[in-house]
């Protein structure tokens, strides 16, 4: 069942989104070769707590960390560790927090030092996919309308869209209905209506879309070893159009 939020509840969710945006802004200042993803994780957990919010990821189905930090060919759900980031890496940092009972979820891909032209283009196209999807997130459209523009833009640039990891509704819980891949056909899928809140989080690979999960049960990698990028916003459907709850993460 899709849980419809009132305008007042959406405003409450915006506070969680503001905390995440500020957290990403601070992480952006930190990113450099030699930094470890564990340092990023510990900073994000501490920052969220200092804002009077709580991290949501640690403990979810046994996940052991407060963030997902996914480097290069890791698509998502990468474990933070003590391995220093290298010049030319790209790292996805996915964070969820809850404030006064309401959640927000966001991810940003960060370049580390000087990255390759291919990596720069992948990051730019992935960001564009997210923004194009948000433009279609209006009442009366269907989810397929949103995801079709994501898929069309990514594939038109010669990249591929991950199918096996999905976007989702969000509210008092991190994961609510609906769930959906970031590919689709116009006129298909759930019809969007005012009060829906969900993530748009395209995961775009430089190579093929196939992936696999490592033995830890979480870390998702591209099957062909190609780079992967992701940007994610929490988006509400309002009478005035899409409202980006997590505005300001990039």
Look up tokens 């997590």; give the residue: 246
pTM: 0.97
**Distance between CA atoms of residues 159 and 128, nearest Å:** 13
To the question of whether residue 168 is assigned a binding role by annotation, the answer is yes
pLDDT in tens, 113-140: 999 999 999 999 999 999 999 999 999 9
Q: Would the annotation count 216 as a binding residue? A: no
CA pair distance 17, 103, nearest whole angstrom: 8
Residues in the chain: 250
Q: Which residues pair with 103 in a beta bridge?
A: 98
Q: What is the structure's pLDDT at 235?
A: 98
- Asked whether the beta carbons of 179 and 92 are under 8 A apart, the reply is no
Q: How do the domains of the chain map onto residue ranges?
A: 7-243
**148 is known to lie in a ligand binding site:** no
What would the two tokens of residue 220 be? 């998702």
Q: For residue 153, say whether it is annotated as part of any ligand binding site.
A: no
Q: What is the pLDDT of residues 145-171, one digit of tens each?
A: 999 999 999 999 999 999 999 999 999
Q: Which of 20, 46, 95, 52 is nearest to 249 (CA)?
A: 20
Q: Residue range 67-81: average pLDDT?
A: 98
Is residue 232 annotated as involved in ligand binding? Answer: yes
- pLDDT per residue over 166-218, tens digit each? 999 999 999 999 999 999 999 999 999 999 999 999 999 999 999 999 999 99
Tokens representing residue 96 in the block: 């969820």
Task: Report the mean per-residue pLDDT for the chain.
Answer: 98
The pLDDT confidence band at residue 46, using thresholds 50, 70 and 90, is very high
- 164 assigned binding-site residue: no
Helix (H) or strand (E) holding 164: none
CATH number belonging to domain 7-243:
3.90.230.10
Interval 91-112 mean pLDDT = 98
């Amino acid at each position: 069942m899709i849980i419809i939020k009132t305008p007042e509840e959406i405003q409450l969710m915006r506070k969680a989104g503001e905390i995440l945006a500020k957290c990403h802004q601070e992480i952006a200042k930190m990113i450099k070769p030699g930094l470890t993803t564990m340092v990023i994780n510990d900073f994000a957990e501490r920052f969220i707590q200092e804002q009077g919010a709580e991290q949501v990821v640690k403990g979810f189905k046994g996940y052991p960390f407060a963030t997902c930090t996914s480097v290069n060919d890791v698509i998502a759900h990468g474990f933070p560790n003590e391995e220093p980031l290298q010049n030319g890496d790209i790292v996805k940092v996915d964070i969820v927090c809850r404030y006064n009972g309401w959640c927000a979820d966001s991810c940003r891909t960060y370049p580390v030092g000087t990255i390759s032209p291919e990596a720069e283009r992948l990051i730019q196209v992935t960001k564009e996919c997210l923004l194009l999807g948000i433009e279609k997130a209006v009442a009366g459209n269907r989810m397929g309308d949103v995801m079709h523009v994501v898929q069309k833009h990514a594939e038109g640039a010669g990249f591929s869209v991950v199918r096996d990891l999905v976007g989702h509704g969000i509210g008092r819980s991190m994961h609510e209905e609906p769930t959906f891949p970031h590919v689709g056909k116009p006129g298909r899928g759930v019809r969007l209506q005012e009060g829906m809140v969900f993530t748009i989080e395209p995961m775009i690979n430089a190579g093929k879309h196939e992936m696999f999960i490592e033995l830890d049960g979480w870390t998702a990698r591209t099957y062909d070893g190609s780079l992967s990028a992701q940007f994610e916003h929490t988006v509400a459907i309002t009478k005035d159009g899409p409202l980006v709850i997590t505005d300001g993460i990039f």
